[in-house]
Amino acid sequence: MVANTITVLTKGGEKSGEVALSAYLFGVEPNVAVMHQAVDAYLANQHTGTASKKTRAEVRGGGRKPWRQKGTGRARSGSTRVPHWRGGGVTFAPKPRNMGKSLPKMIKRLALRSALSSKANADGIKVVENFELDKVSTKEMASLLSAIGVGGERTLLVIREGSKELFLSARNIPYLSVTLARELTTYHLLRAETIVMTQSALGTVEEVFGE
């Protein structure tokens, strides 16, 4: 099952051929509701949920009644660690909790297919033969992106295997993010305006997420 073909570019931005896109991944009707679920779950899973405060039972001290019950003219109190006292515990104190969400595998796969198809329909995907760098150079990385017509808009570079030179060269370009093909998510696809894939990364995406 094959969808439209897409032009393959060289690192210099010249046309070197065409490659067919899988209709299973790039030719479906985008499901907005499912993509929303996937993005919502991804963002929820980024929460660490580590906020923690002590309740009055956990605050040290306060075991002795501060003064006798009657005869002092002051309000009665049984502990110096009650929430309305300085140094007391916190009412309804937050505790570490898991705020993550899980989705069925079919839903996550459909969301990813919808995001890829949406980008393909909007001509938001570029395929490059390779994107290797011999040395760490932010300037060279920016030049390569400019050569293939990318610059300024939020861009996601999808590669098959990472290299130290590539990641270090990309980290100082504010509009560029890099991810491995096996770790592709709906959130990162939708967040970017342009998707740049190496030819080998495209093959990995079709192998991992295809039929």
Rounded to whole angstroms, the Cα distance separating 181 from 186 reads: 12
Q: How many residues appear in the chain?
A: 211
Q: Backbone dihedral region of 76: left (phi > 0), alpha (psi from -120 to 50 degrees) or beta?
A: beta
How confident is the model at residue 1, as a pLDDT? 43
Looking at the chain, the whole-number percentage of residues with pLDDT higher than 70 is: 99
Rounded to whole angstroms, the Cα distance separating 2 from 6 reads: 12
Q: Is the dihedral of CA 71, 72, 75, 80 positive or negative?
A: negative
How confident is the model at residue 5, as a pLDDT? 86
Average pLDDT over residues 36-65: 93
At residue 166's C-alpha, the angle toward residues 161 and 171, to 5°, is 120
Beta-bridge partners for 109: none
The first and second tokens of residue 25, run together, are 């991944």
Is a pLDDT exceeding 60 seen at residue 61?
yes
Average pLDDT over residues 159-174: 90
- For the purposes of burial, counting CB atoms within 10 Å of the CB of 140, is it exposed (0-12), middle (13-18) or buried (19 or more)? middle
Model confidence pLDDT, tens digit, residues 67-102: 999 999 999 999 999 999 999 999 999 999 998 899
Q: Is residue 136 classed as helix, strand or coil in its secondary structure?
A: coil
Interior/surface letters 106-134, b for 16+ CB within 10 angstroms, e for the rest = eebbbbbbbbbbbbbeeebbbbbbebebe
Rounded to whole angstroms, the Cα distance separating 169 from 164 reads: 8
Lowest-confidence region among 10-14, 176-180, 202-206: 10-14
**Prediction pTM value:** 0.80
Architecture of domain 2-47+100-209: 3-Layer(aba) Sandwich (3.40)
Model confidence pLDDT, tens digit, residues 99-153: 889 999 999 999 999 999 999 999 999 999 988 888 999 999 999 999 998 888 8
Average pLDDT over residues 2-10: 80
- Domain extents for the chain? 2-47+100-209, 48-98
The first and second tokens of residue 60, run together, are 């040290």
Contact between 34 and 108 under an 8 Å Cβ cutoff? The reply is no
Looking at the chain, the whole-number percentage of residues with pLDDT higher than 90 is: 78
At residue 104's C-alpha, the angle toward residues 102 and 107, to 5°, is 110
Is a pLDDT exceeding 60 seen at residue 2?
no
Average pLDDT over residues 158-169: 89
How confident is the model at residue 207, as a pLDDT? 93
